[in-house]
Amino acid sequence: MGYSPRKRAKRIFPRVMRKAQGKEVKPTEFAGYKVGMLHLMMINDKKGTPISNQEIAVPATLIEVPPLKVLGVRAYKNTAYGPKVAGEVWTDKTDKTLLRTIKSPKKIKASFENLEKKVSQLSDIMLLTYTQPKSAGIDKKRPEIIEVGIGGQNVADKLKYAKEKLGGEIPVVDVFKSGEFIDSIAITKGKGFQGSVYRWGLKLLSHKSQKLHRKAGNLGPWHPHKTRPMVPQMGQMGFHKRTEYNKRVLKVGTNIKEIAKKGGWKNYGEITSDYIIVKGSIQGPAKRLVRLRAAIRPAPGVFGNIEVTKLGINV
């Protein structure tokens, strides 16, 4: 069955329902725009293999990650019905482009003094951030507002960190580093209305079995008078929210000359800000927002920094 029901996502960028828990007091999430794929040459640091410590070619995905701007701070407290918002503090230093997403910043009466007084009652602190597509290489003006978790165990330390970052920027180098594992959450490519063979991978019916061949052989019994949901039928394919776990970060860079291409990247354009290279493929087409989260179930073992010897970019 996989994921059912296979229907369209509610919006073009996803929600992150589960927050990562880190030891350091720093953001555990980030967001960027998918550029495309490339390959690179790196030294294999996996021990116990015949090609250990040798140069190998690895497929990878390039994501442009402009700095996130901190719009506000949100505090949570535990209740009998789950975590509830205990207070918010918003900044007055916002870009004009933010008015494309919200009409005007909220006038929150709460202040950091009120949150610091009841810090013992708080359970977690989150950052309200928004992206800066104007700093990326895409023709997008409307920013996305996302809630970003903060690592650490002490709520007071989280509140102190959030107070320092309110109204400022968070670059990707402060969140992720080369060699660590992350999770990618994004909306997949939309395929539209497709048949059951392409959608579910059915086997074609044999010769002379029925008039049609690209369909399920049986839709179910006469009784009950209802088609069960596990019967493979035609319908929406693609544009689903999907999460991929343990994608390894190969490179976090700020020098755009290393990945520049004449004429820009296909279906994207020129990269004008920071970037991150992740091993393997990432769901979604070019220009789509991808949310990156620290791995909630990291792979066992100790993994250090990756030595990239060459970026395979066709200039």
Residue found under tokens 């509830």 = 84
155 is a domain residue: yes
143 is a domain residue: yes
Residue found under tokens 């343990």 = 246
- For residues 191 and 300, membership in a common domain is answered with yes
CA distances from 259 to 40, 44, 135, 273, 311 (A): 11, 22, 16, 11, 8
Dist CA 13 CA 18 (whole Å)? 16
At 90, the amino acid letter reads W
- For residues 82 and 155, membership in a common domain is answered with yes
- For residues 54 and 186, membership in a common domain is answered with yes
19 is a domain residue: yes
Average pLDDT estimate for 36-54? 90
Residue-wise pLDDT for 260-303, tens only, equals 998 899 999 999 999 999 999 999 999 999 999 999 998 887 67
The residues, ordered by sequence, that sit 6+ positions from 51 with a Cβ below 8 Å of its Cβ are 44
* Domain with 137 in it: 68-170
Residue-wise pLDDT for 178-237, tens only, equals 999 999 999 999 999 999 999 999 999 999 888 889 999 999 999 999 999 899 999 999
264 is a domain residue: yes
Dist CA 140 CA 142 (whole Å)? 6
Dist CA 259 CA 315 (whole Å)? 9
Average pLDDT estimate for 71-97? 91
Average pLDDT estimate for 5-22? 93
- For residues 176 and 113, membership in a common domain is answered with no
The CATH number that applies at residue 303 is 2.40.30.10
What pTM did the predictor assign?
0.92
In 10 A of CB 245, how many CB atoms? 14
Dist CA 57 CA 118 (whole Å)? 53
Residue-wise pLDDT for 86-143, tens only, equals 999 998 888 888 988 888 766 665 678 888 888 999 999 999 999 999 999 899 999 9
- For residues 250 and 285, membership in a common domain is answered with yes
- For residues 196 and 157, membership in a common domain is answered with no
Backbone angles phi, psi at 139, to 5 degrees: -90, 65
For the chain, report the end-to-end CA distance as a whole number of angstroms: 43
Task: Check: CB of residue 157 under 8 Å from CB of residue 100.
Answer: no
Task: Check: CB of residue 31 under 8 Å from CB of residue 136.
Answer: no
Report CA dihedral (33, 37, 43, 48) to the nearest 10 degrees: 100
Of 131, 154, 170, the last residue of a domain is 170
Asked if the model's pLDDT at residue 41 lies above 70, the reply is yes
Residue 109, pLDDT score: 58
Report CA dihedral (52, 55, 60, 64) to the nearest 10 degrees: 110
* Number of structural domains the chain divides into: 2
207 is a domain residue: no
Dist CA 218 CA 203 (whole Å)? 13
- For residues 99 and 145, membership in a common domain is answered with yes
Task: Check: CB of residue 31 under 8 Å from CB of residue 290.
Answer: yes
Dist CA 211 CA 194 (whole Å)? 19
Task: Check: CB of residue 33 under 8 Å from CB of residue 13.
Answer: no
The residues, ordered by sequence, that sit 6+ positions from 299 with a Cβ below 8 Å of its Cβ are 181, 246
At 125, the amino acid letter reads I
